[in-house]
């Protein structure tokens, strides 16, 4: 009982657990988005090229994302996770999660990805305008907005099934 009171009073353990759960849900969403998005053939150098899910900037997922993607395939292509440093662009990525990287490199990566066949994903609280999908937490649940115009500008097509799951699906999310 005292341990529970201490955890509630400090807020840290509960917050850490909440963050870990939120990161696990987002990691799962990231790879689950893939079957509901269509990339042009030009997005893959060869028929056997891997499908890359990339994380740029601070990585809130850690090993959870690797575990979620391990053994997964998309249209016969193995899924792989790549973690990019701030100076790297999202070249070769099919899904690019824009972690908090101090603003400038995140905005720069988004500009570099514009027009390339990549599904860009960010957290709404990071204020990354122009990302195709933006995560948010509403009523304790991870939800997302979709910007179909940004997807079209990048040459990716989002299925109506995924659009129907979004909180909103309109320009700007």
Q: What is the pLDDT of residue 86?
A: 64
Q: What is the pLDDT of residue 32?
A: 95
Q: How does pLDDT run across 90-133, given as a tens digit for each residue?
A: 678 999 998 876 656 677 777 778 889 999 999 877 666 789 99
- Residue whose C-alpha is closest to residue 151's, from 164, 134, 137: 134
- Residue whose C-alpha is closest to residue 31's, from 90, 88, 97: 97
Higher pLDDT: 102 or 62? It is 62
Q: How does pLDDT run across 22-34, given as a tens digit for each residue?
A: 999 999 999 999 9
90 secondary structure, DSSP code: -
Q: Is the pLDDT reported for residue 2 higher than 50?
A: no
- Residue whose C-alpha is closest to residue 92's, from 39, 137, 130: 39
Q: What is the pLDDT of residue 107?
A: 75
Q: What is the pLDDT of residue 141?
A: 92
Q: Which domains does the chain have, with CATH numbers?
A: 22-165 (3.40.50)
Overall average pLDDT of the 69-77 stretch: 93
Beta carbons of 173 and 147 less than 8 angstroms apart? yes
Contacts of 13 (CB under 8 A, 6+ apart): 7
Grouping H, G, I as helix, E, B as strand and the rest as coil, residue 159 is: coil
Grouping H, G, I as helix, E, B as strand and the rest as coil, residue 157 is: strand
Whole-model pTM?
0.84
**CA-to-CA separations, 157 to 61, 101, 107, in angstroms, rounded:** 26, 27, 22
């Amino acid at each position: 009982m005292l341990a529970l009171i201490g955890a509630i009073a400090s807020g840290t353990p509960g917050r850490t657990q909440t963050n870990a759960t939120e990161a696990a849900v987002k990691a799962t969403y990231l790879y689950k988005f893939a079957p509901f998005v269509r990339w042009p053939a030009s997005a893959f150098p060869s028929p056997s090229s891997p499908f890359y899910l990339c994380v740029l900037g601070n990585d809130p997922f850690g090993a959870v994302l690797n575990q979620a993607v391990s053994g997964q395939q998309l249209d016969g292509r193995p899924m792989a996770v790549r973690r990019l440093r701030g100076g790297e662009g999202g070249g070769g990525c099919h899904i690019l999660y824009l972690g908090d990287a101090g603003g400038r490199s995140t905005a720069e990566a988004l500009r570099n990805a514009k027009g390339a066949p990549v599904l860009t994903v960010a957290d709404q609280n990071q204020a990354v305008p122009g990302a195709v999908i933006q995560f948010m937490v509403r009523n304790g649940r991870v939800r997302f907005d979709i910007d179909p115009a940004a997807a079209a500008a990048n040459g990716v097509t989002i299925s109506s099934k995924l659009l129907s799951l979004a909180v909103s699906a309109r320009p700007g999310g």
